[in-house]
Amino acid sequence: MRYRSLPDGDRIPVIGLGTWRMGGGSEPDPSQDKQVLDALHTALELGYTHIDTAEMYGGGHTEELIGQVIRDSDRKTLFITSKVWHTNLHYRDVLHACENSLRRLGTDYLDLYMIHWPDAAVPLEDTFRGLNELVSAGLVRHLGVSNFELDQLIEARQLSTTPLVTDQVPYSLLDRTCAENGLLAYCQEKSMVLTAYSPVSKGKVNELEKLTTIARQIGATPTQVALSWLINQANVIAIPKSLNPEHLRQNLEALDLLLGEDELAILNQLAEGGKGEAAQ
């Protein structure tokens, strides 16, 4: 496993496992339980150590499923991330939400706890009062945010009493918003990690002809090339999601994929105009 350094000297795996829709959308879906549990066990056996989830996923059921799996593992080797939903951002709601996530996950602490989405109706000062308290109590090791724009991220950094470690946003060959609006550059400047979710745009990157050509030439899959392009950028990590054992293995193998200057030049050009090519 490769790692990125965090502002406080700790580290986070470069590739983690996203779990959105594992166990349901916003409501529990127990019909998936066996498939999800098998995938989670397989991921840990393959070497995944970072699992990203949220209280909203499956109405909390996703956390319960993850809890079943991490109980069979050495907790100290894992990096478990969860997120507080935008309806729970007031001070006491934050504390209560974290307690519920810890209970469902069956763990004494979270390695990373994030605001899932900002809510303009709730002052960030109120939210970070709760988040900072959770860190002081030892229930959370690191704080981050998700889906924050640059001005919101700057405010959040000022309110966090410990170094804010990440902003989790969409980032892929087909979605370069965070690179275009200055968010990526800001994270790199401040030694923060940018966590890319939807790093292959739900498989849509496979429709890019130049990407598939590069993949074929170097003996990789298009998804592996797309992930490699991301994680070889400074301060970027990715959390692809899959229930397919072979895809889980391939995603992790992207860590070892080295892209040459020619391939990177083509991919960078593709990223700038990727949406146009995919639409053709």
Residue 46: per-residue pLDDT: 98
Catalogue the active-site residues. Answer: 57
Read off the pLDDT of residues 57-81 as tens digits, 9 standing for 90 and up.
999 999 999 999 999 899 999 999 9
Specify if 272 maps to a domain.
no
Return the axis-axis angle of helices 33-46 and 61-70, rounded to nearest 10°: 40
What is the domain extent for residue 59?
3-203+230-257
Read off the pLDDT of residues 78-109 as tens digits, 9 standing for 90 and up.
999 999 999 999 999 999 999 999 999 999 99
Q: Going residue by residue through the chain, which has 280 residues, state the pLDDT in tens, using 9 for 90 and above.
A: 999 999 888 999 999 999 999 999 999 999 999 999 999 999 999 999 999 999 999 999 999 999 999 998 999 999 999 999 999 999 999 999 999 999 999 999 999 999 999 999 999 999 999 999 999 999 999 999 999 999 999 999 999 999 999 999 999 999 999 999 999 999 999 999 999 999 999 999 999 999 999 999 999 999 999 999 999 999 999 999 999 999 999 999 999 998 999 999 999 999 887 544 432 2
- Of 68, 74, 70, 66, nearest to 18 by C-alpha is 66
59 Ramachandran zone, left/alpha/beta (phi>0; psi -120 to 50): left
Specify if 251 maps to a domain.
yes
Specify if 183 maps to a domain.
yes
Dmax over CA atoms of the chain, in Å, equals 55
Specify if 71 maps to a domain.
yes
Specify if 57 maps to a domain.
yes
Paired tokens of 199: 């790093």
H-type alpha helices, the chain: 33-46, 61-70, 91-105, 124-136, 150-159, 177-180, 183-189, 209-218, 222-231, 245-253, 261-279
Residue 275: per-residue pLDDT: 47
Specify if 171 maps to a domain.
yes
Q: Other CB atoms closer than 10 Å to residue 202's CB: what's the count?
A: 11
Specify if 11 maps to a domain.
yes
CATH number at residue 165: 3.20.20.100
Specify if 103 maps to a domain.
yes
Paired tokens of 263: 């391939």
Residue 111: per-residue pLDDT: 98
The model's pTM is 0.95
Total domains present in the chain = 1
Residue 8: per-residue pLDDT: 85
